[in-house]
Structure 1
Amino acid sequence: PDAPSPAPAPTARSRAPLTTAPTTKAITLPTPVDITALQSVSTAEAAAWHRIVAASMAHDLPAVPTPDPAQIHAQLTQPPLGSRRLTWLATTADGVPLGVAALRLFTSPGQDHLSELELHVDPAHRRLGAGSLLLSAAVAACRTENRRSLIAAAAPGSPGEAFSQQRGFRPALTLDHLLLRLDEPSDPGLPRITGTAPSGYRPAHWTGTVPDALADAFASAKNAMNDMPVGDLDYGSITWNADRVRAMAKVIADRGDTLLTTAAVHDDGTMAGYTEILLPQGRGPRAQQYDTAVVPAHRGHGLGLWIKAAMVRRLRAGHPDVVEIETDNADDNVHMLAVNHQLGFRSYRRTREFQLELPTT
C-alpha cells in the first residue's frame, strides 16, 4: 500500500501536525486563555482557524503548502467518513484567537477505539498555555468517548515533537514524504515503464464515484490497505463495501475536492490494484496521493508500478495545472518506497506519528 490514509482527509492524509511550543518571539507575560468548544463552525471562526493554521505551518512547516480558506471551511463543516469531529478554539479573554484543535473520533467497527488530533497554536502566542489547554480538552473528550488511543503527528525536531513527548505521547511510526515533479523535462523512472498493461490485466479509470459495474470489485481491493505498515500505531482496520466506497467519494465531492482513480482489472473481473489521486478544490499545483494498493493474490507482476505510472500519464494529459504529487510512506514500507523512487519521487521531509494511550472503562 501507499499512503496510510484512514479516510479522506487533508492529510491527511494527511495527518495535520501538533504545532505548539516556545519560539524566539513568544509572549512570556501571563495572559488568561479561554477554551471554547465549537458546536458548529461559523464563517468567522473558520477564517480565524485558517489564519492560525497558516501562521503555524509557515513557521513550523515552511515547505508545505497551506490549505486555502475554502479547504479549511470544508474540512470544518463537512462530515468526515466513518468518524465525527469535535473542535475547540483558544482565545484571549478579549476574544483574540490563539489556537485551535480538532479531534476526529473514528466510528467504524475496527477503529472505534481510535481518535486523531490536529492542534495548532499561532507562533506569536505560544507559551501562554493554549496548547496544553486544548490538549486537555481533547483528552477529556477521548475519555468520555472511551477511546484508548489518541494519535497525532509532528515533524522530527519540531516544536510539536517536543510538545507531544513532554505530554506522554510516544513515537509509533515515521513517514517519509516524497514529491514527484510533473513539469520537469524528464524523470528517471517513467520513460522506462510501458503504458501497456501487464498480460491478463486491463486499465480502468474514473473520476469521483466508482462506476456501479466496478463497485464491488473496488471495495474488495480497498481491503488490501489493511496490511499497510503502521509501525506501533494502534490503528485497527477498516472493512470496505460498495456503499462505503460510494460514501467516500461523496465526502470528497461535498468538500469540493476531486478524486481520480486508476485501476488494474484482471481478465476474471476482479480488481487487482488501484491508485487514487486527490485534486484539492481551487486546483493548486500540488496533488495528493491517496491509497495505492495491490491485492495480495496479484502481487509480483509489477502492477503497483504500472498503475502509478498510468496515473502520472493521466495527470499530465488531463490536468496540466498539476505540477507535483505528494505522497507519504512508512519508512519500513520498502516495496512502495522502491516503486515511488523508480517513478522519480524524491524525499523532501519526514513526519513522526505519536500515540497517547488512554485508560478506558
Structure 2
Amino acid sequence: MGTPASIVRVEPVSQADADAWCEVVTASMAEDLADVPPPTRAQEHARLTGPGTGSRLLAWLAYEDDGGSRGRAVGAATLRLFDREGQDHLAEVDLHIRPDARRRGIGTQLLSAMVAEAASAGCRSLIAEAPACSPADLFCVRHGFRRALTLHHLLLPLCEVHRGWLDELTTAEHPGYRTAEWHGTVPDALADAFAAAKTAMNDMPTGDLDHGSVAWDAERVRAMAAVVTGRGDTLLTVAAVHGAENAEVAGFTEVVIPGGTAARAQQYDTTVVPAHRGHGLGVWLKAHMLRRLHDEYPQVTEVETGNAADNTHMLAVNEQLGFRRLRTTYEYQLALTERTEREEPA
C-alpha cells in the first residue's frame, strides 16, 4: 500500500499552494478525463481563493515525505460547505490523486479529513462526481458512497452548426415572447424576474440525489455573477421575456467562457419555467446563444453541457442542436450519519 502521505490543510491558499494543486489536477485529469481541458494556474488560484455563493471552500494537499522534508504534492482535495438555506445539509467533495501515487491510501486519508470536517459542520451527506468506469468511480463504491444520479456530458463543435440554420431557428416566431441578452450581471429591471426563473429550476430531474432546493433572489443572482466574473470567466445569458409590464423571465440559458478566452465554453443553467413550456423556448434560447458565440466570441470552437440521464426533454433539445455524447459521469452521495455510526468503536 506504500507510505501514507502528509496531509496538509491549506488556509489561506497561497499561489504556491494553487500551483501545486494545479499540477496534481492536471496529472489526474490527463489520466481520467483526457477529453477535458485542464484548468490554468490562474483559474485554479481564483477558484481556491475567491468567495463562494452561499458556500465556503476548504482545501487540502497531500505531500510525499522526502527524507523528512516535504516532497512533491501527490493529492489535492476541496470540500465545499453550503450555508444557504435548503442546501445547508450538503457538502461537495472534489478529490484528485496523481496516477503514479494511487493505491497508497492517500485518497482515503484526504477523504477522512473531509468527512470529519463536514460532520463537525453538521452536514448529513457528501456529494462527489466520478467519471464512469474510472478509478474515482471504484473509489466511491469502496468508500460507501451510493450512486444517485447519472449525467451525460455532450459536446457541440461550433464548426458543425451552420450560421444560416441558427438564423432560421432564432427568427422563428414566438408570439408574446422576446429575448433579452446580457454579459455578467442581470440588468436591474429583470433581476427579480430572473431570480424567480432560477428558483423554478428546483423541479429539474436529480435522480435519487438529495440535492435540496435553493430559493434565489436578486441579491443572490448578482452575487453568483460577481463570483464568475471575479475569477476571470465570462458569463453570458440569453432570456425569454414574457409580457411588457411586470415582465416574467419565461426561460433562460447561461454559458461561461473560462478565463474569457477558452476555446471550449461551458453550458451552465438552462431552464424554461413550467408555465411556459411547450412553446419551443428551449431550442430558441440555445440557438440565440450559439449565434451569439458565433458572432461575438470567435475563439470559442465548442460548447460542453451536461444533462441528467432522466432529463429526457433537455437531452432532446441538445441533440436537436447537434450536441453528441462525450462521456458519462455519476453523482455519488455518502450519508455521514451512517458512516459515523459504522466507525464508532463497539
Please, what TM-score do these two structures have when normalized by structure 2?
0.93
Looking at both structures, which has the greater relative contact order when contacts are Cα pairs under 8 Å and sequence separation is at least 6?
Answer: 1
1:221 and 2:197 equivalent? yes
Structure 1 residues 188 and 344, CA gap change in structure 2 (3 angstroms): farther
Question: Deviating runs (4+, > 6 A) in structure 1?
Answer: none
Conserved in 2, the CA contact under 8 Å of 1:189 and 1:343?
no
Distance 1:287 1:75, change over 3 A: same
Aligned residue for 1:359? 337
1:1-361 correspondence runs (5 A): 30-93=2-65, 94-95=69-70, 96-184=72-160, 186=162, 190=166, 193-268=169-244, 269-359=247-337
Percentage identity across paired residues of the two chains? 57
Change (3 A) 1:278 1:197: farther
Unaligned 5+ segments in structure 2 are 341-346
RMSD: 1.6
Contact between 1:190 and 1:343, CA under 8 Å: does it hold in 2?
A: no
Rounded to whole Å, the distance in 1 between the matches of 2:243 and 2:331 is 40
What CA distance in whole angstroms lies between the structure 2 residues aligned with 1:53 and 1:315? 28
**Secondary structure, counterpart of 1:354 in structure 2:** strand
Question: Which runs of no fewer than 5 residues in structure 1 stay unpaired?
Answer: 1-27
- How far apart in 1 are the matches of 2:7 and 2:90? 23
How far the C-alpha of 1:233 sits from its partner, in A, is 0.7
Q: Which structure's residues are more often helix, by fraction? A: 2
Shift of 1:98: 1.0
Listed one character per residue, the Cα deviations across residues 313-361 of structure 1 (whole Å, up to 9, x for unaligned) are 1110111110100000000100000000111111110101111011199
Deviation per CA, 1:227-274: give whole Å up to 9, x if none: 111111110000011111111111111111110000010124111111
- Matched residues in 1 for 2:95 and 2:124: separation? 19
CA contact (8 A) 1:117 1:150 kept: yes
SS at match of 1:193: helix
Letter of the 1:209 counterpart: T
Query: Quick one: structure 1 residues 210 and 187, their matched pair in 2 at CA, closer, same or farther if it must change by over 3 Å?
Result: closer
Q: Which amino acid aligns with 1:354?
A: Y
Letter in 2 for 1:64: V
3-state SS in 2 of match to 1:79: coil
* Distance change (3 Å), C-alpha of 1:349 and 1:188: farther
AA partner of residue 334 (structure 2)? L
**1:92 shift after superposition:** 1.5
Q: Distance in 2 between matches of 1:76 and 1:303?
A: 36
Does the CA-based 8 Å contact 1:188-1:343 persist in structure 2? no
Aligned to 1:19: none
Per-residue CA deviation, residues 264-312 of structure 1 (Å, 9 max, x unaligned), is: 1012411111100001115110000000011111111111110011111
- On the 8 A contact 1:83/1:108 being kept in 2, the answer is yes
8 Å CA contact 2:166–2:288 kept in 1: the answer is: no
In 2, Cα distance between the equivalents of 1:333 and 1:239? Answer: 21
What letter matches 1:342 in structure 2? Q
How many Å apart are 1:32 and its aligned residue? 3.9
Whether the aligned pair in 2 keeps the contact of 1:176 and 1:351 (CA below 8 Å) is: yes
One-letter amino acid of the structure 2 residue matched with residue 311 of structure 1: M
Q: Is the 8 Å Cα contact of residues 154 and 351 (structure 1) preserved in structure 2?
A: yes
| Shift in alpha-carbon separation, 1:177–1:188, aligned structure 2, 3 A | farther
| Displacement after TM superposition at 1:194 (Å) | 4.0
